[in-house]
Amino acid sequence: MKKIKRALISVSDKKNLKPLLSLLKKFKIEIISSGGTYKEIKRLKYTCTEVSDYTGSPEILGGRVKTLHPKIHAGILNKRNDKSHYRDLINNNYDNIDLVIVNFYPFEETLKNTSNHKKIIENIDVGGPTMVRAAAKNYNDVAVITSSSQYEELMNELIKFNGSTSLDFRQKMSQIAFTETAYYDALISNYFNKITNNDFPEKKIIYGNLVERLRYGENPHQQSAIYSKNKALDITQLHGKQLSYNNYNDIFAALTISKSLPKNSGVAIIKHANPCGVSALKDPVECYKSALACDPVSAFGGIVSCNFKVNKKLALELQKLFLEVIIGNNFDAEALKILRKKKNLRLID
C-alpha cells in the first residue's frame, strides 16, 4: 500500500470534483493545482496550493508553461525506495507527489467544433500528458487518474485502504493512462497527416473507442468487440437480437457498396462479406429484385442494404426471403410493422 499525502489536480473536465475533494480533505491529503482547476477548487471552498506558489515559478507564455517544472516532475518520478532519488529530493527541497489527477485539453472536441487551426493547436495539451506519463511510469509509487469517470473507483480505493492505494489499482490506472496518452497523440498525429495531405505516412496509427463487446468473434471460440473513432456507430438497430461479429462485418461491407451507388437508387446484397448482387434503379422494388437476380441462391441468409427509405411495398418483397439483416435509409411505419413480425430479423437504420 502507498499512502497518499499529496495530490496534484489539473483538469479540463471539472465535473464531480466536490465529492472527491471532500474525501481528500478527510484523509488530510494536500492538494496542488493550477489555472482554472485551482480557481474551481477555491470556489468549492477547499484548501489548495497553486502550482506557481508550490514551485516558486510563475505561469509563463500565456499559460503554456505551468506544470513543466523539476519540482513537479521530480515529485512524481522519484522512486521512493531509491536512496539517491531521496537525496536529490532533499538537496533540492522537493517533495513527493503521490496522486496525479489530470485530464487533457479537449483536442478531440475542438476538432469537431472548429476548423480554426490556431484554436486547434492551442488545444494540444503538453503539460497534462507529460505529468500523466510520468505518473504512469512510476506506478509503483504514484496513482494516476485521467477521467472524472474514474473518481468513484479512486474514492472506493481510498476508503478501502484508509487513504492509500494498492499496487493492483495503480498498475491498472497506469495502463489506462498510457492508453489515454496514446489515443490523444493519435488524434493529433492524424490531424497533422490530414492538413499536410499525408495519406500514407511511414507509421499509421489506428485508434478507436469501445462501442460494444460482442458475444463471440468470427467463430464461437473467439472473442470480439466493436471499436469506432466516434463513441457510437453511425447506425441504429431498430429490431432484432444483438448483432454478431459476422453481422457487423457484412453490414459494413454492404454499406460501403450501397453508399457508393447513386443516391436513393442502390441496393447491395452481401453474404459472408462477399457481394451476391448489386443494382442501381430508381424503383425500390425493381432495384431489389434486380440485385437479388444476380445470385438468388447465395443471397439466402444474407444482408440487404438499401440507400433509400424502405416502404411497405418493398417490405412485402423483402419478407419473402430469409435474411439476417436489412439496412435502410429510414423505414416507414408500415414497413416496420411488416418486418418486425420476423423475430430474428435485424433492422438497421
- Average pLDDT in the chain: 92
239 tagged catalytic: no
Residue 131 has pLDDT above 90, yes or no: yes
Q: How confident is the model at residue 1 (pLDDT cuts 50, 70, 90)?
A: confident
Query: What is the predicted pLDDT for the residue at 314?
Result: 93
Q: Match 527541497 to its residue by C-alpha cell.
A: 93
Residue 120, SS3? helix
Cell of 335: 414497413
Per-residue pLDDT at 231 exceeds 80: no
pLDDT band at 230 (very low <50, low <70, confident <90, very high): confident
Structural domains of the chain in order of their starting residue, each with its CATH number: 2-195 (3.40.50.1380), 225-348 (3.40.140.20)
**Angle between helical axes of 151-160 and 17-26 (0-180°, round to 10):** 20
CA distance 198 to 56: 43
pLDDT tens figures, 84-116: 998 998 999 899 999 999 999 999 989 889 999
pLDDT at 233 over 80: no
Q: What is the pLDDT of residue 89?
A: 85
**Cα–Cα distance for residue pair 314/237, rounded to 1 Å:** 19
Q: Is 137 a catalytic residue?
A: yes
Split at pLDDT 50, 70, 90, the class of 235 is confident
The yes-or-no verdict on residue 62 having pLDDT over 90 is no
Asked whether the beta carbons of 50 and 64 are under 8 A apart, the reply is no
pLDDT at res. 177: 97
Instruction: Considering the candidates 137, 289, 312, 342, report the single residue annotated as catalytic.
Output: 137
- The pLDDT-based confidence of 59 (bands split at 50, 70, 90) is confident
Its sign, for the CA torsion 73, 7, 182, 129, is negative
Catalytic residue among 14, 18, 172, 272: 272
Share of residues in the chain with pLDDT > 90 (%): 77
Per the structure block, which three cell numbers stand in for 196?
A: 499536410
> 3-state DSSP helix/strand/coil percent for the chain, to nearest 5?
45, 20, 40
Query: In this predicted model, what pLDDT tens digit does every residue of 281-321 receive, in sequence order?
Result: 999 999 999 999 999 999 999 999 999 999 999 999 999 99
Asked if residue 99 lies in contact with residue 4, where contact means CB atoms within 8 angstroms, the answer is: yes
pTM of the prediction? 0.81
Per-residue pLDDT tens over the stretch 254-286: 999 998 999 888 999 999 989 999 999 999 999
Work out the average pLDDT over 146-162.
95
pLDDT of residue 196: 92
